[in-house]
Amino acid sequence: MQTLAVFNPHPNVGKTTVCANLGHALALAGHPLTLIDFDPTGDLSTSLGLFRPPSQGIDQVLLEQATLEAVSISTRDEVHLIPAGKQLSEIAEGAVAGMGKGMLLQRLLSAVSSDQEFLIIDCPSNADLLVANILLAVDRVLIPLLGDQEGSDSLPHILQTIEKFSKARGRPLDYQFVMNRIPVRRRLTGVAASKFSGLAPGHFCKSVICQSEQLVEAQKMGRTIFEFRANSRSASDFTQLASELMQRGI
């Protein structure tokens, strides 16, 4: 089983949208997988239609009060979801009595059903304890990056974080950037593309996710883009991203 974290320490870059739609794209291609909502806000759960997510989730697993299998929910064909759970925010803040810094996430992930090909984690933006455990445990990370000045300015910090956790792991943390919310009429080409890829050569996906109101509307309705507009440009973007990542051996 391959483990992938959708990560960016900065908020509002589309991590949850990428996680939900990439996951469904892989599932539609015949790859069973589990998504974990590691954000205390529970946005991944609601984006998949669970507007009243269960009270138990990955929080109970981290507290060793439940197994991954017990809190896993089948949401679509080939897609299982592990919700965040009500206590995840307390865990993120280190406010749970007897909760150590080492949550042994890597050991917990080994308990995922062997029939799952992928496990994809939606990372929070502002929860250092959770992010640390995720980046120490997963095989690789996918980093959605905005194609504007804010995205460019955030790159050095993200690369420093990757280097920090590579050293902590004692092995490289494989990573790929995917340009997200790129205006359709203003594709990231030429000088702009070189500016980004020059900072992390070889680590940018060829696929890009274009800006789309359809993605926003789909998420509000608790649906993926494949359920909302299967023939849309956005659906094609995520199909291409899934295919590219498979070719890279995610």
Residue ranges and CATH numbers for the domains of the chain are 2-245 (3.40.50.300)
Query: Beta 79-82 vs 33-37: how paired, if at all?
Result: parallel
Looking at residue 224, its pLDDT comes to: 98
Rounded to whole angstroms, the Cα distance separating 97 from 245 reads 40
User: For a pLDDT cut of 90, what percent of the chain falls above it?
Assistant: 66
pLDDT at position 190: 45
pLDDT of 183: 85
Q: For 25-65, what is each residue's pLDDT tens digit?
A: 999 999 999 999 999 999 999 999 999 878 889 999 988 88
C-beta of residue 32 within 8 angstroms of C-beta of residue 115: yes
pLDDT > 70 fraction of the chain, expressed in percent and rounded: 90
Output the average pLDDT for the chain: 89
Number of Cβ within a 10 Å radius of residue 114: 8
End-to-end distance of the chain based on CA atoms, in angstroms? 10
pLDDT at 192: 57
DSSP three-state, residue 97: coil
Residue linked to tokens 């197994």: 67
Question: Measured between alpha carbons, how far is 99 from 250 in angstroms, rounded to an integer?
Answer: 32
| Whether 196 contacts 222, CB under 8 Å | no
Of 6-20, 26-40, 119-133, 193-207, the poorest mean pLDDT is in: 193-207
The rounded distance, in Å, linking the Cα atoms of 48 and 139 is 24
